[in-house]
Each structure stands twice: as structure tokens, then as C-alpha cells.
Amino acid sequence: MGTIIPAPDALIGRRFDVAVAKMMGISRAKAADLIETGQATIVGRTPSKSDTLQLGDLVEITLEEREERPEPVATDMAIAYEDDDVVIVDKPVGVAAHASVGWTGPTVLGSLLDRGVHITSLGAPGRQGIVSRLDVGTSGLMLVCKSDLAYTEMRRQFAEHEVVKTYHALAQGNLKENKATIDAPIGRAKVSDFRFCVTPAGKDAVTHWDVMERFGEATLASVNLETGRTHQIRVHFSSIGHPLVGDAMYGANPRLSEELGLERQWLHAMQLEFRHPRTHVTTVVTSHYPADLQHALDMMRAHHADRSTPSTPQ
């Protein structure tokens, strides 16, 4: 049996994960992990994290002794640029920026440390050296700081939107304009803990895009961000009726995804342009498309060429 705590009056009516987080002084994500693994429950019933705490509930906490398992390493993660101050990796899909509750796969930070790369100790524990992140399902360039000087300066550059981050995205459908800006606030969607949406209550988010290539059924665009909200490009393109190809979470056509062999959104962090933290010289680092995105793009071009070629009369 674990520790049993009567539901505090101040938390009656709150979501169970929120209540557990406040009772234990931990993050909501960690509380949700304890609930899902049965280490945080209510005597007499098995609540989900979204159930509400009721008057008279007895909360039972049983913390398991867990065996520490070594984190998997991304051996195929290329380094696009490195010096004494920064390292820029070409992150593969399926690699997280850093460790987090519930994630058991490889991380950028863990993989760099495993290779013996020195990383500054500045930053939150487990996130040291990281000043900008990429989603697990998004590939491309991500900068990590090796020196204290780099961490302080690059954190400032990212916070003040001085770093030019260029993504390439394949959006469903035919974008109307050749060049446009989406300025719409983004916040967490009420229907899911993992989805985001355009909402007046959200944080400011600005996305600029330029069309690179048109296929009728999809459009390849170069995208620059003024802000760095979670899922920003995915949410913004979905909000104008053009979700990214392969992005099932935000409304992509599953038939097209299957035809192109895509198992994730067609989105790649293609280029970083910044002032070097030590020399102040403008530094530009460029990536290339990974195999799955290149294959999908080649198929898209082939389909478009077939449709565009007039048939020969018999």
C-alpha cells in the first residue's frame, strides 16, 4: 500500500492530473505519467487523468522503484556544423530534442553526450545547451550550445527572433498566393493534450511562406517563422485549409499520405542563419531532404508530370 492523502478542499473539482501535480509539487506531465502507470490513483476507483477530484476522495500514491535503462542513441544523426561554441545537428525523424516524461526513444542531447561532445551546463537539467527545439516528427537542423558564451548569446538571439529559421513544407492543395503571411495566435486545443489550434486566447504566432513549386494536389513552400510556437507551421497551414501532406493529426488526406509512402508530416528544418556568438560573423548552415521526404517529393513531381503531359491522339 502506498501513501493515502485525503483530497484537499482547495483541489476539489480540479482535474486529477492537476490535483496530483499540486499535491506532489511536480509537473502536470509527470503527474499524468504516475496516473497512467497506476502509481497515483483514488481509493475505490481507477480515475483517468481528466477525471475530477471529488469531496471525500482518498488519493493513493505508490511510487515504484524503476530500473534505470540507458537511453537509446541516434547513431544516424549527422552533424551539419560544429566548432568550440555550437554544434548543429541534422535531426532525423523519431528523435526528440531532450528527455521528457513518457519518451523512451533517442534524444539529440543524449546522443551528443554519448558521442563525447562537450555541452554547456547552462540550462534546465536534462535540457542543458538547448535554446531551440524541433518536434520528434520533424526532421532538420537544430542548434545546441557547447560553451556558456554561446548559450547566453544564442538564447538571446532565438528569444529576440534574430535567427532566421527556414523550413520547407509540402502543403496539401494549391495555395492561392505565391507569397503570404499567416498571423494568428496559437494555443492548446481543448480536445487533446497533444494538439494545438488557432485561438484568440493563444500566443502570438507569425508564419511567412513563399511558393517554391506547385503540383496542383500539393504545394512546396519555403517557410520562415517570426515566432516558435509548438506545431506552428502545422497548425497555421491547417488553419487555412492546407494541412501539411502526411500530417494526420491536423487533417491531412490519408490516401495521399499512403500513395506517397509518408508516415509523418512533410516538414523539414532546411536552413539556419545566425550571427556566430563569438565572432559575430553571419553563419548559414543548410540541410538536405531525408530519404522519406525526397521520395514523396519525387513521386509528387512524377504524378504532376503525368497529369500535365497531353495524351497523344490515336
Q: Do domains 3-61 and 78-304 have the same CATH topology?
A: no
Q: According to the model, what pLDDT value does residue 309 have?
A: 59
Per-residue pLDDT band for 192 (boundaries 50, 70, 90) equals low
3-61 maps to which CATH number? Answer: 3.10.290.10
For 163, residues 6+ apart whose C-beta sits below 8 A from its C-beta are 132, 154, 157, 272, 273, 274
Write down the catalytic residue from 33, 135, 247, 292: 135
With 0-12 / 13-18 / 19 or more C-beta atoms within 10 angstroms meaning exposed / middle / buried, residue 217 is middle
Q: Which CATH code, of 1.10.357.140, 3.30.2350.10, 3.90.1150.10, 3.40.250.10, is assigned to 78-304?
A: 3.30.2350.10
Q: Which residue has the higher pLDDT, 286 or 194?
A: 286
Break the chain into its structural domains and give their ranges.
Answer: 3-61, 78-304
33-90 tens-digit pLDDT: 889 988 899 998 889 999 999 988 999 888 765 555 677 899 999 999 999 999 999 9
Distance CA 78, CA 68 (A): 27
Distance CA 46, CA 38 (A): 8
Tell me, yes or no, if 135 is annotated catalytic. Answer: yes
200-224 tens-digit pLDDT: 989 999 999 999 999 999 999 999 9
- pTM for the complete prediction? 0.76
Distance CA 302, CA 309 (A): 11
